[in-house]
Structure 1
Amino acid sequence: MQVQLETLSNLERRMDIALPMADIDAKVTERLKRVARNAKIHGFRPGKAPLKIVEANYGAEVREEVLGEAVQQGFYRAVTEQKLRVAGYPRFEPAAAQANKDNFQFSATFEVYPEVKLGELADKEVEKPAADVTDSEIEKTIEILRKQRTRFNRVERAAAAGDRVIIDFKGTIDGVAFEGGSSENFPFVLGQGQMLADFETGVTGMKEGETKNVEVNFPADYHGKDVAGKTAVFEITVKNVAEATLPVVDADFAKSLGIADGDVEKMRAEIKKNVEREVKRRLAARTKENVMQALLDTTSIELPKALVQLEIGRLMEQARQDLAQRGINAKDMPLPADLFEKQAERRVALGLILAEVVEANKLEATQEQVKAMIEEFADSYEQPEDVVQWYYASPDRLEGPTSMVLEDNVVEFVLSKTKVVEKAVAFDELMGNQA
C-alpha cells in the first residue's frame, strides 16, 4: 500500500492511497467462490454453475463490495500508521485516471481533531449560586401542591377572579366571523391571563345563563396576523361558574401525596427532602453552566466542520422526535440547519475541551463515584435497590452516570482553579417562578 499525505488547512487533510490490485482481485475471486456455492443461476443446479458464469452474473456487485471494504480498511490502516485522529467521516474519491493498472488509487479527504490548549483559569471569576430551603419555601411548595389539586364547585353568583367559567362564544369583525373566533363549552380560569384582558373583563361579573356582547381589541403584535390590531365583538354565553376550592392540609392530603399513614409531619419532612434535592440539582446545574462558559471563554479552539455537521444532524433529529411526541408531524415543519448551528458548535467545543481537561488532569470517574451517583438517582424512587440493579444490569446503562460524574469532576477542578463568587438566588427565581 502506498500513501501520500497532504495538509490542506489547519484541520483538513488529503490522503492519496494506492492499493495493490492483485490483493483486490484475489479477494474478489475468493468471494465469488463463496457466492458460487449457493448461487441460483438459470440452467444450473445451485452451486454447480461455472465460476465464469457466476462472475458474469455477480462479478460487478462483488467487486464493488470488495473495493468498498478495501478502501475502508486501507484508509484506517493508513491513518493508524500516520497516527492521525480522524474527526467525522472521510470523503472517498477514486482517482480520475487509474494510471497504474497494478494499483487501485483513491483519495480520502478528512479533518483531524484540533489541538486543545486550555486557557488560564486563575484570573477567571465563576459565579456559584446559593439558595436556602427554609420553612417558607416548604409552605410555598405545599401551596403549589394544593393548587394542583384544586376542585371547582358550581356557584350561582357572578363570576369573579379565580373562578372557572365554561362559556360559548362567537366572534365577528365588522360583522364577519373569523377563524378561531368561536367555540362551545370552552373552560378557563378568570385572572390567569389565558384570554385577552378585554375578554376576561367582559366575562367577569356575568352569571350562569347570561349572554352579552363584549368588544375586544386585539394588540397590533397579536400572533394571529389576520386579527392583529383589529376590534372584534364576541357574543358570550356563560354556561357554568365554579368556585375554586383547595384541599385542606390534613391526613387525606398527606395520603394523596403518598404518605400511607396520613402523618402531616412526615409529609412535610418528605416535601422538604424533595425540595432540597431539587434545589441542589438546580444550583449544581447553574454552577456547571457557569463553569462550562468559563472554559469556553478561556480556551481557543478551531472546530472540525465535520463534527459540527454531525451534531447539527443529531440536534435536528432530536427536535423532530420532540415534535412527534407532541403530535406534530415534523415533516410539515422546516427545520433549517442554521437554527442549530450555534448550539452544535458549543456542544462540540465543550466536548473537545472537557475531554482534554479530563485527560490532562486525570479526572476519570471512579467506580465509587459512579455508584454514589446511581444511588443518588435511586433515592427518589420507592424501590431504590431496583433502580440500582437496573443500572448495573447492562454496561451501556452506566454511560449516563459516568458522563455526569466526569462533568462533576471537571466542575470541581475548575472551581478549585478560578475565583469563585457566591451569589444568593431567590427560591422563586431558581424554581422558575413556580411558587
Structure 2
Amino acid sequence: MQVTETLNEGLKRGYQITITAAELDDKVKAKLVEAQPDIEMKGFRKGKVPMALLKKQFGPRVLGEAMQEAVDAAMNTHFEESGDRPALQPDVKMDAGETWKEGDDVVVSMSYEALPEIPETDVSGVKLEKLVVKASDKEVQDALKNLAETAQNFEDKKGKAADGDQVVFDFLGKVDGEAFDGGAAEDYPLVLGSGSFIPGFEEQLVGVKAGEEKLVEVKFPEEYGAENLAGKDATFECKIKAVKGPKAAEVDDELAKKYGAEDLEALKGQISERLEAEYAGAARQVMKRGLLDQLDGLVSFDLPPSLLDAEAKQIAHQLWHEDNPEVEGHDHPEIETTEEHTKLAERRVRLGLLLADIGQKQEIQITDAEFTQAVMNQARQYPGQERQFFEFVQQNPQMRQQIQAPLFEDKVVDWIAENAKVTVKEVSKEDLEKAVEALDDE
C-alpha cells in the first residue's frame, strides 16, 4: 500500500492511495480462509468446500468488503501518522471508477481540509465581570401575592355570577331530547372563564343567581372526542346551587405548607433562591459574551473554508426563518449568504475551534449523568413521547452531538472563567435586563 501527497495548500490536502492487486487478493483469501470452517455447500461437508469454489461463489462480495476495509485502514493510518484532523468528512473516490476490474490495483484519491493548529492560548489575562442581582423584598412579596391568588379559595357571594366566579350546580345534558352518558353531574364546581366546558357553555352561566334554573344551549365541536356527540346540538338543564366569589389565600404559614415549605419564612427563602438563580443564568450569558469577545481577539489562525461556508449558510437560513416565521418548512428559494453572514460565521468557527482545542487539552469531558440530564430536559418538550425521544437520541449520532456540543462548550467556558480574573459587581434587576438586551442588539 502506498500513499502519495498530491495537494498541500493552506489547509487543503490531497492524497492518492494505491492498494496493489496482490495486497487485495491476500485480503480476500484471508477472509475466505477465516469463513471456510463455517461454510456448507451441497456435495461438501461443512468446512471442506474447496477454496477455488469459495472464491467463485463468494469472491465478488468479499472483494468489495476487503477493498473498503483496505481503504479505511489506509485512511486511518494516514490520519494517525500525519496528525491531521479533517474539518469535514474526506472526499474519497476511485480513480478508475466503473472501469476498474478484478486484478487491477486499487487507486483512490482522497481530499479534505485539515483543521488548523491552534496556538497555545493563555487565558489567565482574561478579565471578566460577573453581575449579581439580589432578589428585592418587593419581588418576593409580588411572588407571594401571585402564589396566594393561584391558591385562591371561593366564598359564597350574593348577587349574580361574574366571570371568574365559581358556580356550583347540577346539570343534565340532552341531545335530541335524550340524556347521554357523561352528561350529568351534581354539585359540580365550575369556575366561569376557565374553559373547562365546551365553547359557549360557561358564558351562558354569567349572570345566574343561587336558586335559579338555566337552560344552556350549545353545540359540540366537530372534532369532539365522543363521535356520538361531535357536531351535535345539545341542551343542559342547570340548577344553580351556589355562586361563590374568589378570595386569595392568606399569605401565611398555611400558604407556605401548600407549596411544600415549612413556614412562610422558608417559602420566602425559596422564592429568593429561585429568583436569584434566574438572574444568575442571565448574568452568565452576559459574562460568557464578554469572555468570547476577549477570546476572539486572543489568537489568529486559518479557518477551513468548508466549515465557514457551511456555518454561513446555516446562519443565513436561521435568520431568514426568523424574518419569515410563517414559513415552517424548508420549501423556499435558496438563501444567499451575505458578507454579514460570513463575518459572523468566521467568529463562530474560530471560537468553536478554539474552545474545542482548550477543552481537549484540559481533558474536559461530558459525563453520562450530565448527558442524560440534558436529554431528559429536552424530552420534556414532548409530553407522552419521552421514551421515543430517548430512543431517537440513542440511534442518532448527529442528535447526540447536537446535545453534547453546548454542554461541552459551557464546561470549557466555566473552566476559563475559573482561571480568569473575575470581578463581582452587584447591580439592579433593571441593569441586568439592559445588559441582556444589549446582547441581542450586537
- Scaled by the length of structure 1, the TM-score of the pair is 0.56
Distance apart, 1:352 and its partner CA: 0.7
Alignment partner of 1:142 is 2:144? yes
Unmatched tracts of structure 1, length 5 or more = 166-184, 191-202, 212-238, 317-331, 378-397
Aligned ranges for residues 261-300 of structure 1 at < 5 Å? 262-296=262-296
Q: Is the 8 A contact 2:38 2:47 kept in 1?
A: yes
8 Å Cα contact 1:94/1:105 also seen in 2? yes
SS of match in other structure, 1:132: coil
| Contact kept in structure 2, 1:158 and 1:205, CA below 8 Å | yes
Deviation at 1:75, TM superposition (A): 1.2
Structure-2 residue corresponding to 1:130: 132
Greater displacement, 292-301 / 140-149: 292-301
Q: Is residue 109 of structure 1 aligned with residue 104 of structure 2?
A: no
Counterparts of residues 230-379 of structure 1 (less than 5 Å): 244-259=246-261, 262-296=262-296, 302-303=303-304, 305=306, 334-335=329-330, 348-357=349-358
Quickly say closer, same or farther: Cα 1:154–1:47, change in 2 above 3 A: farther
Cα distance in 2 between the residues matched to 1:112 and 1:399: 20
Per the TM alignment, residue 26 of structure 1 is displaced from its structure 2 partner at its CA by: 1.0
Structure 2: how far apart are the matches of 1:348 and 1:146?
49
Aligned match of 1:157: 160
Contact 2:88 2:307 in 1 (8 A): yes
2:93 equivalent to 1:93: yes
| Matched AA of 2:141 | E
Question: What is the CA–CA distance in structure 2 between the aligned matches of 1:204 and 1:124, rounded to whole Å?
Answer: 66
Correspondence for 1:207: 207
Assess, with a 3 A threshold, how the Cα gap between structure 1 residues 349 and 245 changes in structure 2: closer, same or farther.
Answer: farther
Distance verdict in 2 for CA 1:123–1:76, change over 3 Å:
closer
Unaligned segments of structure 2, at least 5 residues: 168-189, 196-202, 209-213, 217-237, 318-326, 375-403, 438-442
CA distance in 1, matches of 2:432, 2:194: 23
Q: Distance in 1 between matches of 2:289 and 2:67?
A: 47
Q: Give the root-mean-square deviation of aligned CA atoms.
A: 5.5
1:32 Cα deviation from its structure 2 partner: 0.9
What is residue 234 of structure 1 aligned with on the other side? Answer: none
Name the structure 1 match of 2:198: none
Amino acid at match of 1:48: K
**1:2-50 CA distances to partner (integer Å, 9 max, x unpaired)?**
2222337543322111123322211110111222222243444432322
- AA partner of residue 430 (structure 2): A
Task: Give CA deviations for 1:254-307 in whole Å, capped at 9, x if unaligned.
Answer: 222223xx4222222233334333432332233223422443476666245369
Partners of 1:247 and 1:51 lie apart in 2 by: 88
* 1:426 and 2:430 are equivalent in the alignment: yes
Pairs aligned (count): 324
Secondary structure of the structure 2 residue equivalent to 1:86: coil
8 Å Cα contact 1:154/1:243 also seen in 2: yes
Distance in 1 of aligned mates of 2:165 and 2:432:
25
Q: CA 1:428–1:346 in 2, change beyond 3 Å: closer, same or farther? A: closer
For residue 131 of structure 1, report the CA deviation from its aligned partner. Answer: 1.7
Q: SS at the partner of 1:113?
A: coil
Are 1:408 and 2:404 matched, yes or no? no
Which residue of 1 is the match for residue 39 of structure 2? 39
Q: Secondary structure at 2:92's aligned position in 1?
A: strand
Question: Which residue number in structure 1 is paired with residue 321 of structure 2?
Answer: none
How far is 1:344 from its partner? Answer: 8.5
Local SS of the residue matching 1:334: coil
State the SS of the aligned residue for 1:88. coil
C-alpha distance in structure 1 between counterparts of 2:18 and 2:250, whole Å: 81
Q: Deviations over 1:32-90 (max 9, x none)?
A: 12222222434444323222222222111111111111101101212333332222321
Give the structure 1 partner of residue 172 of structure 2: none
Which of structures 1 and 2 has the bigger CA Rg? 2
Whole-angstrom distance in 2 between the partners of 1:289 and 1:164: 50
| Partner SS state of residue 4, structure 1 | strand
* 2:81 corresponds to: 81
Q: Is the 8 A contact 1:363 1:410 kept in 2?
A: no
SS of the residue 1:282 aligns to: helix
Please report how far the alpha carbon of residue 353 of structure 1 lies from its aligned counterpart in structure 2 after TM superposition: 1.8
1:125/1:420 contact within 8 Å kept: no
Q: What secondary structure is seen at the aligned counterpart in 2 of 1:108?
A: strand
Summarize the Cα distance change of 1:88–1:19 in structure 2 as closer, same or farther, 3 Å threshold.
same
- The answer on whether the counterparts of 2:5 and 2:15 sit within 8 Å (CA) in structure 1 is yes
What is the distance in 1 between the residues matched to 2:192 and 2:351?
47
Aligned mates of 2:45, 2:312 — CA distance in 1: 51
Partner of 1:53: 53
> What's the TM-score once normalised by structure 2's chain length?
0.55
Once the two structures are aligned, what percentage of the paired residues are identical? 24
CA distance in 2, matches of 1:42, 1:107: 42
For 1:365 and 1:114, how far apart are their aligned partners in 2?
A: 20
| CA–CA separation in structure 2 for the residues paired with 1:247 and 1:95 | 80
Do the aligned residues in 2 keep the contact of 1:364 with 1:406 (CA within 8 Å)?
no
